[in-house]
Amino acid sequence: MPTPKTSNSPDDDENAINVELMLRVKRATMKGDAGDAENAFQQIIELHQNAVIGTVAKMLGNASEAEDIAQQVFIRLWKAAPRYEVKAKFTTFLYTITRNLVFNETKRKSRKKEHSLEEQEENSFTQMEDRVASCPDQEILQAELKSQVDLAINKLPEKQRLAVILRRYENMPYEQIADVLELSVSAVKSQLFRARNSLRESLSHYLDQS
């Protein structure tokens, strides 16, 4: 009796689609078929644009800058297409590029001190007030808590911050986060443990009220 075929997981299927699209961009670019390369790359952008913008926004604490940085991510991805090799999951490759650009931007801001923490908090509270104004009463506390969670995450060291964002919002496994951050799995778990303790301390006032 033949052994039944085991179907791939949705995650495996998604990765296969991503890899094939990226390889298609590579092949078309090398053959000089700009139209096919652009068509395949546009599909990659449509699949991942929102997630990359969301990750960048959470990392920088400034949604207005996220689209510009995300655009740079995809420009670098496009330029890397001729050298692309399937050595890891496609999203590992994509978020490694994202990590490099976000960390560079964080360092640039740190040197120039363009945005103080107080300014970031003021901007966040203003956005929160706008959301709360349009919320029913029962949603106000949730909106405030979400704003405070975002602020607390933004205060974490950058590696802890990215680890939390990839784990919490992108549901990324420890092994993949380790690849993106170029750390061991145990180091990633340690980063997340410290981050969770910091977040628990920062949010203790709100957690005690819930």
Question: Is the pLDDT reported for residue 6 higher than 90?
Answer: no
Most confident of 111-120, 148-157, 175-184: 175-184
Q: Classify residue 62 by its DSSP letter.
A: -
CA 11, distance to chain mean position in Å, is 17
pLDDT > 70: what percent of the chain? Answer: 78
- The two three-digit tokens of residue 115, written as one number: 């945005």
Residue 14 or residue 3, greater confidence: 14
Are residues 9 and 85 in contact, defined by beta-carbon separation less than 8 angstroms?
A: no
Mean pLDDT of 155-166: 94
Question: Is the pLDDT reported for residue 51 higher than 90?
Answer: yes
Are residues 70 and 44 in contact, defined by beta-carbon separation less than 8 angstroms?
A: no
> Within a 10 A sphere around the Cβ of 70, how many other Cβ atoms?
24
Give the relative orientation of helices 137-154 and 185-202 as an angle to the nearest 10 degrees: 130
Question: Is the pLDDT reported for residue 15 higher than 70?
Answer: yes
pLDDT at res. 154? 87
Question: Is the pLDDT reported for residue 50 higher than 80?
Answer: yes
pLDDT at res. 138? 54
Residue 49 or residue 12, greater confidence: 49
Residue 23 or residue 155, greater confidence: 23
Could you confirm whether domain 11-115 is CATH 3.40.1740.10?
no
Mean pLDDT of 30-38: 95
Specify the amino acid at residue 38: E
Contact partners, residue 22, CB within 8 Å, separation at least 6: 40, 44, 81, 84, 90, 93
Q: What is the pLDDT of residues 177-187, one digit of tens each?
A: 999 999 999 99
What pTM did the predictor assign? 0.80
Q: What is the pLDDT of residues 55-71, one digit of tens each?
A: 999 998 888 889 999 99
Question: Is the pLDDT reported for residue 139 higher than 90?
Answer: no
